[in-house]
Amino acid sequence: MSAIAELGDKLSKLTLAEAVQLTDYMKETYKIEPAAGGGGGGGPAVAAAPAAPVAEPTEFNVILTGFDAAKKIGVIKVVREITGLGLGEAKAAVEGFPKEIKSSVDKKLAEEIKAKVEKEGGKVEIKPV
């Protein structure tokens, strides 16, 4: 069996979720976008126009996604410092993860907050707004 046939057989067995992951991987790694349409094709092949550059996000949300139970107090303290919440509110925020602890901040500040929380035992994600 040829390598192309083997690859085709593997691709045909992907679940929808795996196909989406493959699409994202191809976009990020190789800058390959899926073809538009999906019809039977019929016309001559035409070179696609270069895709417009995607604007980089400038604002990010910092989300607490978990913490080391042994370091809970340190995480609560740093969340209080970052958010300005009272002790009870910060404790509830930490215990109620995933929880947004800072919203609409620039990339540099988001990375600083992430580093500060992770140093105290928290787990953080940064997501574009």
Q: What local confidence, expressed as pLDDT, does residue 24 receive?
A: 82
Number of domains in the chain: 2
- Residue 104, phi-psi category: left (phi > 0), alpha (psi -120 to 50), beta (remainder): left
Q: Is residue 96 part of a domain?
A: yes
Low-confidence residues in the chain, pLDDT < 70: 1, 35-52, 54
Q: What local confidence, expressed as pLDDT, does residue 22 receive?
A: 81
Q: Exposed, middle or buried, 75 (CB in 10 Å: 0-12/13-18/19+)?
A: buried
Report the length, in residues, of the chain: 129
Q: What local confidence, expressed as pLDDT, does residue 88 receive?
A: 93
Q: What local confidence, expressed as pLDDT, does residue 45 receive?
A: 54
Domain that residue 18 falls in:
1-35
Q: What CATH number corresponds to the domain at position 109?
A: 3.30.1390.10
My answer on whether 74 and 123 are in the same domain is: yes
My answer on whether 64 and 20 are in the same domain is: no
Average pLDDT of the chain, as a whole number: 84
My answer on whether 30 and 86 are in the same domain is: no
Q: What local confidence, expressed as pLDDT, does residue 125 receive?
A: 94
Q: Is residue 42 part of a domain?
A: no
Q: What local confidence, expressed as pLDDT, does residue 11 receive?
A: 79
Q: What local confidence, expressed as pLDDT, does residue 107 receive?
A: 92
